[in-house]
Amino acid sequence: MLEVQAVSKAFRGIHAIEDVSFRIEPNSITSLIGPNGAGKTTMINVITGVLAPTRGALLFAGQPIAGRRPHQVASLGIRRTFQTVRLFDKLTVRENLTVGGYRQLSGRRWLHRFLPMNLGDAAGRRRADEVLAMFDLTALADEIATDLPYGTQRRVELARALMGRPRFALLDEPAAGMNEKETAQLVRDVRRIRDEGVTVLLVEHDMSMVMSVSDKVVVLNFGRKIAEGTPGEVQRNPDVIASYLGSDDA
Ligand SMILES: Nc1ncnc2c1ncn2[C@@H]1O[C@H](COP(=O)(O)OP(=O)(O)OP(=O)(O)O)[C@@H](O)[C@H]1O
Ligand SMILES: [Mg+2]
């Protein structure tokens, strides 16, 4: 689904990503882990077109995408969630899905302002019902999203990313700030997304989540890939233990 080939990204002297390569198989869950500042969010930004790589190539379903604009990347069926919650204030859960779905599809930040508050077209409403049910959010559909517990808000964001039936979803620390019960629900959500045919790239610090959901784990440290393999292989890798799993960070 995605091939990252020798990608580097530098910001004025800081090598956020250095010569990183990995592959993501269709319909799999791949986790990208590493200490704070390892380059994980930068990699998501490079894949989604927010940043252009300094060097290297990215192939999505065989097509080169490096340097394309975010809305062009989105139009190929790639969606992401952010490290911090970015829901619309004063809109219900359902409105966040329908309006957010349009916004993500159009790639235009301002478009939601011109949409009627009562939610897009019939197809959009049907898809919202489907996605709400998929995430067990139907009972909360008419609540103001930002009034809900933080963990639920994060799950609404994830649901919103699914509105446009993406082929590939990139999730930036979805479990951050979640309690144990919310994280368990999130694990089910991520598996359900994969079972719907979506390929997932998960950036996450919660190691029990990473080890239980991932088909493959890629480990970054100071912008470089230090390991890649199944959860079991990565957990036994001495470099990973020394630089990450053995530290207080994990
Ligand atoms: N826009 C930017 N301008 C300058 N430096 C940046 C920028 N974005 C990221 N960096 C730097 O690049 C490095 C990698 O940052 P990145 O946010 O990708 O790390 P991360 O692995 O997502 O960390 P965290 O786990 O804390 O979210 C850091 O040193 C960071 O300070
Ligand atoms: Mg980050």
Q: Which of 17, 42, 244 to mutate to test the pocket of ligand 1 (most atoms within 8 A of CB)?
A: 42
Residue ranges making up the domain that contains 125: 89-165
Final residue before a domain boundary, out of 105, 137, 165 = 165
80-97 confidence digits (pLDDT tens): 998 888 888 888 999 899
Confidence at residue 100, expressed as pLDDT on a 0 to 100 scale: 56
Using the predicted structure, report yes or no on whether residue 205 has a pLDDT greater than 50: yes
Please state, in angstroms and rounded to a whole number, the distance separating the CA atoms of residues 195 and 178: 23
Report the range of poorest mean pLDDT among 4-8, 104-108, 173-177.
104-108
Do the Cβ atoms of 227 and 237 come closer than 8 Å?
yes
The answer to whether residue 28 sits within a structural domain is: yes
Q: Could you tell me whether strands 55-60 and 63-64 are parallel, antiparallel, or unpaired per DSSP bridges?
A: antiparallel
Listed residues 121, 146, 165: the one ending a domain = 165
Q: How far apart are CA 28 and CA 31, in angstroms?
A: 10
Sequence-ordered alpha helix ranges (H) in 90-179: 93-106, 122-134, 150-161
If one counts the domains in the chain, the total is: 2
pLDDT of the residue at 125? 86
Looking from the CA of residue 9, the nearest atom of ligand 1 is: 12
Note whether 128 and 12 are same-domain residues: no
Rounded distance, CA 170 to CA 183, Å? Answer: 17
> Residue 108: is its pLDDT beyond 60?
no
Domain for residue 142, yes or no? Answer: yes
33 lies in some domain: yes
Q: What is the mean pLDDT of residues 14-21?
A: 96
Cα–Cα dist 52/42, whole Å: 10
For ligand 1, atom 26, name the residue with the nearest CA: 36
Q: Are residues 239 and 193 in the same domain?
A: yes
Do residues 46 and 94 share a domain? no
Compute the average pLDDT of residues 18-42.
Answer: 96
Q: Is 224 helix (H, G, I), strand (E, B) or coil?
A: strand
- Residue 30, domain CATH: 3.40.50.300
Ligand 1 site residues (CB inside 6 A) read 11, 14, 16, 34, 36-42, 83
